[in-house]
Amino acid sequence: VQLAESGGGSVQFGGFLIPFCAVSGSTHSTYRMAWFRLASGKVLEGLAVINTYGQTAYADFVKGRFTISLDNAKNTLYLQMNSLKPEDTAIYYCAAMPLEWYTLYLRPETYQYWGQGTQVTVSS
């Protein structure tokens, strides 16, 4: 399974971005996928998770601002990020775990496949 993120970039405070993650090479019909981020000097944070049935879960600190979605027909995962703040500056990664659609974990050790990341920079 290969994951490739795109759609990061630079935006001003209060702006929005929609990074996305293209999935290829998967032979599994069910899985869960998530977005994580790594900011300078901080640990990897789980942001949002979705399974192939559309069930979602979010970290408390992004609820109401970020929305995860999955287009199964296009094999693409999205993260709508609104009201961005400078503290949202980080490298954003998508991750996938085949078959385990029934657990909406946001712990990085529970994911098998990772993308290379896309940089998001928010200026004040």
Give the angle 34-16-67 at the CA atoms, nearest 5°.
Answer: 35
Greater confidence, 100 or 5? 5
Residue 63 backbone class (left: φ over 0; alpha: ψ -120 to 50; beta: rest) = beta
90 contacts 81 by C-beta, under 8 angstroms: no
Q: pLDDT tens digits, residue range 17-72? A: 999 999 998 878 889 999 999 999 999 999 999 999 999 999 999 999 999 999 98
List the one residue out of 76, 88, 84, 69 whose CA is nearest residue 23: 76
